[in-house]
Amino acid sequence: MKRLFLFTIILFIGSSFSQAQKPASSPKLVVGIVVDQMRYDYLDRFNSLYSEDGFKKLMTEGSNFTFAHLNYVPTYTGPGHASIYTGTTPYFHGIISNYWYDKRLKKTIYCTGDNTVKTVGANDKNGWMSPKRLQSTTITDQLKLATNGKSKVISVSIKDRAAILPGGHTANAAYWYDPLNGGFITSSFYMQQLPGWVKKFNKRKLADKYMSSVWKLSYPLKKYKMNLPDNKAYEKDLFSENKTTFPHSFNNVPKNKKLSLLRSTPFGNELLFNFAKDALVNEHLGQRGQTDFLAISFSSTDYIGHSYGPNSVEIEDTYVKLDSLIAGLIKLFDRQVGKGNYILFLTADHGVAENPDFLKQHKINSGWINRKAISDSLKRFSKRKFNNVKVLANFSSKQIFLNYDIINSLKLNITDVRKSYAQYLRRTFPFISQIFIRDYLMNGTANRTSTNLILNGFNPARSGDVAFEYQPGFSPGSGDYEAATHGSIYSYDTHVPLLFYGWNIPEETINKPVYIVDIAPTLADLLNITEPSGNIGIPLIKRK
């Protein structure tokens, strides 16, 4: 009898152990982390200053895709976030830039602007936003549809578009930072009033506390070997200190600009980190019996990158500090949701180019391109060629938009007009490398592996009549207002990190070409749900 009892106990323990080791049929939570303007090489260049618990953990204990690229232009924040979460390019999802000229309205519009909704959480217009211009569903939409609305989707960022586009059309909430009051707001598209926990967070006025802080280096200056010295001429004096070297304080910043400037410091990332923590806990994400989704987009990296450039001590220290925040999030998810119970991915919406003056110092062909000079030149050409400057409706985002009403009234052939502008660009501006007219682009269709990134970024309904690209190393701007920028087809703008970690994610490093449009279908396949409606990507991780 004792032997039978002992045998039964052993069987029970073995069965229990087996059940305990069996992975859950689905993760409790999916976490999407997008780091605005993060180049892939930052993982390696700053690696010696990273801890073992942040970026390195994701790289060594998850799937690290070392050759992930954007497969379209323009490489901006709006199109980037839309492409990550829809699994497609602007050709299908419609977010062709951050701002673009609307041919029907005959004015420039913002990618998430919506004057039919109102701000919730403040008395200003910074919440007049929604995802109405997004033409495809997102992976977050598909999760909501697959669970009959039971999954909860929360999206947070400093930038409005970086919160709104990941959440898709069905998010429970998207929250973003309001630089006019220092709190997080939303729009009436999502709700009529802020939840109690958001109101409580805003009452803490963390932004005000950060503004009394000083941005100091995490390590002694000599450890920042990749980007020394700390006094490059092209860096911007954001803090009115008559210097661009550490430390940086808000002491000389006008009071009415401090809340806005907070975004251009690592304190902006820290503020978002604290808000994301509160969202996880107070919304009970990953603890409700359904797979939930938390989208976190760190935007301060972009503001800092524009002001100091990728070869600055400021950007290196920003990533050292972000590494600590990533480590903090992983520990939080392990504690709240359970290690192995969530999927986390980390990527970027685009990279960034080196400062042209920095490249010139290294004898690399480069330069700043004056967009206004191009615009003025195109207007003069319009007047000279067609005797009507209004033939040109708009020039923006490396596109020429023509005025069809004027062209028809002049009885001109639209294709001939497009060709004339393309020919003028070719013979006038030697720093332009590629030029396509609308007629050519309309004969193609975007696809995952196309080498024509302009075609993949072209939207038949929204894009212009002539599209072009600059030569490598040439950046639009003057250098007076920013140290670096992005938007091109080149690897410095398209090569981004892509890391998957957690539930059913193997530990491996993959160096084959993949694209950010593959993220959404990978998640869809892992979750066993339908991919977004405009998807052109493929799953990257084999489902167990």
Q: Rounded to 5 degrees, what are φ and ψ at 508?
A: -160, 155
CA dist 509 to 61, 220, 247, 522, Å?
10, 32, 37, 16
Tokens of residue 425, six digits: 């660009």
- The CA distance from 391 to 171, in Å, is 42
Burial class (CB in 10 A: 0-12, 13-18, 19+), 197: middle
As beta bridge partners, residue 33 has 296, 346
Q: Which of 76, 95, 33 is nearest to 353 (CA)?
A: 76
- The CA distance from 174 to 160, in Å, is 8
524-541: b or e for each residue (b if 16 or more CB lie within 10 Å)? Answer: bbbbebbbbbbbbbbbbb
- The CA distance from 306 to 320, in Å, is 18
Query: How many alpha carbons lie under 13 Å from residue 24 in its C-beta half-sphere?
Result: 18
Q: Which of 224, 253, 259 is nearest to 240 (CA)?
A: 253
28 with 147: CB under 8 angstroms? no
Beta strands in 272-374, from DSSP E residues, in sequence order: 292-298, 342-347, 367-369
CA angle 32, 33, 38 (to 5 degrees): 145
- The CA distance from 296 to 396, in Å, is 29
Complete DSSP assignment for 472-517? TTEEES-SSS-S----SSSHHHHEE-EEEEETT---EEE-S-EEGG
Complete DSSP assignment for 430-453? TTEEEEEEHHHHTT----TT-S-H
- The CA distance from 535 to 448, in Å, is 9
Tokens of residue 107, six digits: 């004015």
- The CA distance from 163 to 140, in Å, is 12
- The residues assigned a catalytic role are 77
